[in-house]
Amino acid sequence: MKDTVYDDFIDRLRSESDIVAVVSDYVPLAKKGRNYWGCCPFHREKTPSFSVAPDKGFFYCFGCQAGGNVFNFLMKVENLPFMEAVKLLARKLNIPIPEKTKSEDDLRREQEATQLYKANQLAKDFFHACLTKAAFGSEARQYLASRQITPEIIDQFQLGFAPPFWDKLIRTLADRNVPVDSLIKAGLAISREQGGAYDRFRNRIMYPIIDLHGQVVGFGGRVLDQTQPKYLNSPETPIFNKRHVLYGLNLAARSIKETNQAIIVEGYMDMIACHAAGITNVVASLGTAFTQEQAKSLLRMTKELVFAYDNDAAGQNATLRALSMARSLGASVRVVMLKGGKDPDECIQRNGTDAFVTLIREAPALIDYQIQTALANENLNTLEGKVRAVDKAVTALALSDNAVEVNSYVARLAQTLALDEAAVRSELRKHVRMSQKDKSVNRGQNISTAMMENRSNMATIMAERHIIRLLLDDPELGTELSSHLVDEDLQDPNRREIMNSILLAYNMGKPISTATVGANLSESACAELSSIAVMESDYNDVSRTAADCVRILRLARLKDLYENHRLQADEYERMGDSRFLQELAESQRIKDEIIKLHQ
């Protein structure tokens, strides 16, 4: 469909949908004031903190900060991409979806994807039949039985076996009208230099990798002998990117949402062993490094990620890398300290399900794990070992922004190592300073500039939120405020993005509403807009309130600019640079503006 038709269709869905009715299909809501309230479907809670504003068309949870419009809600609650959420809402409203005019490239890619999905599906059925019915699958069946994999589990995960022949799959699927070129593109066959092709997977137990829509996108294969590599995955294809896929997510998604927790393991068998034991909120990272794309897929369902990687050095290193990355995306991270086995599968087989569930429940948080690892890997009977342990521990503590938590850890660390607490705190301060310096250098700033970064006080935060709410409630204020306000006046990046969208709509003569403003916002900015939209507000004097908000924002910005130029002048003067006079003059001019605003 053309862009204008598409935009009109989205606008129609948005305007005709009743967000309260849509959300009520998933969450019991009760009206309280102008908004509706219920328990959040995205995290466990007993006291309702999930609010829906019908007049604004937004939802917001004050507990987990999830928010957005009706499309965002369906995307999050059903774990759908945007267009799938659009289609779902259209079906709910019984509104026909306009047909899209497809280009030749679109048709070619769609046809190719269809062929690859078909090839993978037929290959999955072939491998499964080879395992469960063929005589040459008996060794694989015996191996799986030795790993406590029952026929029921084999059927549940559609496990298979690639027979030890060079072209058995190619010949079998040729009878099903699947050309060898499709098998090569799907990563199921490899072309020979001298012509022809051969099966990629041979004499391996096969694990089909299935996406959230139930389509087979690739495979993992494990050898039965000592052949290398032990595990072989499908290569990247037009329908398979291992950075974006988690093994078993199609089976674990519902349980992850219900438990509000995702457990990540390394291998196929670890994931299967957990599910067989009744622990169903488990996925595997395909034996590769946990990626940002995989983390984001899980964070759409839950904020708590629990890592249960192998006990060996490679597994611990992979855990540390994954922890840092997941934490940077806002995840609440915990780590299972495996006992009685090198991996989850072995732990469950040796000690039972209850013991493994206890390990999950007692899994320490990120900092706990990092400190425990630092202490465990050093010889604490020597001064050198203690110094290295402290260095590793305070490196982790320097990243925490919880002062109470850090103080507690420092005291415990000093007591455990029999060190002076003041000495440990001194080392921590060094790491904090270096951490701040590194962040500043990464942003292209010097230390003086970094020290100038403002910390928004509550008055500024509320002024930013109320000015946005005022403009949404009374778009006519745009005429009054456009000459006095720019998006740079807002310090918070999400609210600055919202204000930029409001001013852009105003300058283009478009209507200002939560729908138009929120249409193209980032996920975090959309959540902030949702929070503002559900705010209870009752302004006695709109113009006066707006003027007060503008004055607070202008003062905050001018004070930051003043401090910026003042410190820059000091730095130039220390360097003997005559530009300090220019900076002093500019800081004085800004100071005069601040005095006028105060008056």
pLDDT for 428-453, tens place per residue? Answer: 888 777 665 444 434 344 434 333 34
Say how far apart CA 456 and CA 436 lie, in whole Å. 18
Whether residue 451 lies inside any domain: the answer is no
- The residue among 202, 233, 264 that closes a domain is 233
- Helix, strand and coil content of the chain, in percent to the nearest 5, comes to 55, 10, 35
Distinct helix (H) and strand (E) counts, the chain: 27, 15
Q: What are phi and psi of 32, to 5 degrees?
A: -145, 105
pLDDT (0 to 100) of residue 350: 93
Mark whether 63 and 84 lie in a shared domain.
Answer: yes
* DSSP letter for each residue of 377-390: TS-TTSHHHHHHHH
Mark whether 478 and 525 lie in a shared domain.
Answer: yes
Whether residue 384 lies inside any domain: the answer is yes
Mark whether 593 and 509 lie in a shared domain.
Answer: yes
Number of domains in the chain: 5
Mark whether 470 and 508 lie in a shared domain.
Answer: yes
Mark whether 275 and 326 lie in a shared domain.
Answer: yes
Mark whether 227 and 140 lie in a shared domain.
Answer: yes
CA 320 to chain centre: 17
Cis peptide, bond prior to residue 229, ω within 30 of zero: yes
pLDDT (0 to 100) of residue 10: 85
Mark whether 357 and 382 lie in a shared domain.
Answer: no
pLDDT (0 to 100) of residue 480: 67
Q: Is 37 left (phi over 0), alpha (psi -120 to 50) or beta?
A: beta
Q: Are 295 and 303 in contact (CB under 8 A)?
A: no
Q: Which has the closest alpha carbon to 88: 103, 76, 104, 105?
A: 76
Domain holding 213: CATH number? 3.90.980.10
Say how far apart CA 58 and CA 469 lie, in whole Å. 13
CA 592 to chain centre: 46
Say how far apart CA 458 and CA 563 lie, in whole Å. 19
Q: Are 410 and 429 in contact (CB under 8 A)?
A: no
Domain range for residue 398? 371-443
Q: Which has the closest alpha carbon to 172: 126, 117, 124?
A: 126
Whether residue 104 lies inside any domain: the answer is no
Whether residue 14 lies inside any domain: the answer is yes
Say how far apart CA 201 and CA 189 lie, in whole Å. 8
Domain holding 335: CATH number? 3.40.1360.10
Domain holding 558: CATH number? 1.10.860.10
Q: Are 475 and 506 in contact (CB under 8 A)?
A: yes
Whether residue 510 lies inside any domain: the answer is yes
Whether residue 272 lies inside any domain: the answer is yes
Mark whether 280 and 385 lie in a shared domain.
Answer: no
Q: Are 598 and 576 in contact (CB under 8 A)?
A: no
Whether residue 145 lies inside any domain: the answer is yes
Contacts of 404 (CB under 8 A, 6+ apart): none
Q: Which has the closest alpha carbon to 319: 380, 257, 363?
A: 363
pLDDT (0 to 100) of residue 456: 44
Whether residue 239 lies inside any domain: the answer is no
10-residue stretch averages of pLDDT, the chain, 599 residues long:
70 90 93 91 83 90 87 86 89 86 82 95 98 95 94 96 96 95 96 93 97 93 89 94 93 91 94 96 85 88 90 68 79 89 93 95 87 84 87 81 79 87 85 59 40 55 85 75 70 85 78 73 84 77 82 82 81 81 84 78
Q: Which has the closest alpha carbon to 275: 302, 253, 295?
A: 253
Q: Which has the closest alpha carbon to 335: 350, 316, 351?
A: 316
Mark whether 44 and 128 lie in a shared domain.
Answer: no
Sign of the dihedral defined by the CA atoms of residues 66, 68, 73, 75, in that order: negative
Mark whether 484 and 582 lie in a shared domain.
Answer: yes
Mark whether 381 and 359 lie in a shared domain.
Answer: no
- The residue among 414, 443, 472 that closes a domain is 443
Domain holding 64: CATH number? 3.90.580.10
Mark whether 429 and 464 lie in a shared domain.
Answer: no
